[in-house]
Amino acid sequence: MNLRHMKIFVAVCQNSSITLAAKKMYISQPAISTAIKEMENYYGVKLFDRLSKKLYLTEVGKMVLSYALHITSLFDELETTIRNSDTIGALRIGSSITIGTHLMPNYIKQFSSKYPNIQTFVTINNSDIIENLVLDNKLDFALIEGVIHSKNLISKSFLNDELVVICSLNNPLLKKEVISVKDLETQKFLMREKNSGTRELADSVLLLHGFSAIPIWESISTEAIINGVSNGLGIAILPLRLVQNFIKKGTISKLNVVDINLKRKFYIIYHKNKFLTSSSIEFLKLCTE
């Protein structure tokens, strides 16, 4: 068993095909098949189910892939580190939408001014998708607003944040002196998509009060939700950082709900087997400062 076996296994998994893996690696199909069979014989397990001429990873195969991705990644990083100084290379950074909108541009600007020869590639999406990209080693590390769902990830908080409840300027709740979660049950909800960090916190907090909101509108776009709220379609729970300018401009209003806690933290996440280069560590230091 050697690195070649691991690279072939990863290529087959990523392409879901021995034929495509053979073409991309410039290796014959029989050689690919032999390498996979050697791995299965070596470990005494079945890595793939072969059904209707298609390959499906077994549960053991999924576990092996998790390690294989990082074994091959470590080797690639070793070569990069040896061939380049620490001020040359690239960082693949992931970010949830709130962080990507308000914090990431400044982080990249500061980092690039200090390390002009390091390219930074940023992917912005909801926290759940970003987490999976880190697990698949398609990102070196990420900054997210939600809690992690995998034991293979390391998570460290680096910044406090808060969600707020927003409504249109004509919402009747604004006339009440005291607003409770019970009052929110009378409202229609516009919410971020499922599995986003914002949605997960909003759902969990409302559930603690015995209330499950069924949104009339779900969107990955915060701006779309804000526009819907400003037009009186309903209320929303969104990050204060994303809505504070709209509140200041008088486009929407904030509802001060007395019995609800929507504070949270932002997290740095990376795979537990990931080797962080010194430039990666410098970027993470920048975030914590």
The range of the structural domain enclosing residue 36 comes to 3-66
For residues 167 and 179, state if they share a domain.
Answer: yes
The per-residue b/e assignment along 197-224, b for 16 or more CB within 10 angstroms, e otherwise, is bbbbbbbebbeeeeeebebeeebeebee
Predicted confidence band of residue 223 (pLDDT cuts 50, 70, 90) = very high
Give the CATH number of the domain where residue 232 resides: 3.40.190.290
Instruction: Write the Ramachandran bin of 26: left for phi over 0, alpha for psi from -120 to 50, otherwise beta.
Output: left
For residues 47 and 116, state if they share a domain.
Answer: no
Is residue 199 domain-resident? yes
Is residue 98 domain-resident? yes
For residues 141 and 197, state if they share a domain.
Answer: no
For residues 111 and 93, state if they share a domain.
Answer: yes
Is residue 72 domain-resident? no
- Per-residue pLDDT at 80 exceeds 70: no
165-194 pLDDT per residue, tens: 999 999 999 998 889 999 999 999 999 998
Range in 5-14, 68-77, 163-172 with the lowest mean pLDDT:
68-77
Is residue 222 domain-resident? yes
- The predicted pLDDT at position 226 comes to 96
Based on the structure, what is the number of domains in the chain? 3
For residues 254 and 222, state if they share a domain.
Answer: yes
For residues 272 and 130, state if they share a domain.
Answer: yes
19-52 pLDDT per residue, tens: 999 998 999 999 999 999 999 999 899 999 888 7
Is residue 71 domain-resident? no
Q: How far apart are CA 270 and CA 255, in angstroms?
A: 36
For residues 270 and 155, state if they share a domain.
Answer: yes
- The predicted pLDDT at position 86 comes to 52
Is residue 77 domain-resident? no
- Per-residue pLDDT at 89 exceeds 90: no
- Per-residue pLDDT at 87 exceeds 60: no
Helix H segments across the chain? 3-15, 18-25, 29-43, 59-83, 97-102, 104-114, 127-135, 181-184, 197-208, 222-230, 240-249, 278-288
Is residue 171 domain-resident? yes
Strand-pair partners of 238:
164
271-284 pLDDT per residue, tens: 998 888 888 899 99
Mean pLDDT over the full length of the chain: 90
Q: How far apart are CA 130 and CA 3, in angstroms?
A: 27
For residues 87 and 212, state if they share a domain.
Answer: no
Give the CATH number of the domain where residue 139 resides: 3.40.190.10
For residues 146 and 275, state if they share a domain.
Answer: yes
For residues 148 and 203, state if they share a domain.
Answer: no
For residues 130 and 273, state if they share a domain.
Answer: yes
- The predicted pLDDT at position 148 comes to 87
For residues 44 and 186, state if they share a domain.
Answer: no
Is residue 74 domain-resident? no
Predicted confidence band of residue 117 (pLDDT cuts 50, 70, 90) = confident
Q: How far apart are CA 96 and CA 144, in angstroms?
A: 5
Number of helical H runs and strand E runs in the chain: 12, 11
Q: Report the run of H or E that residue 239 belongs to, with start and end.
A: strand 235-239
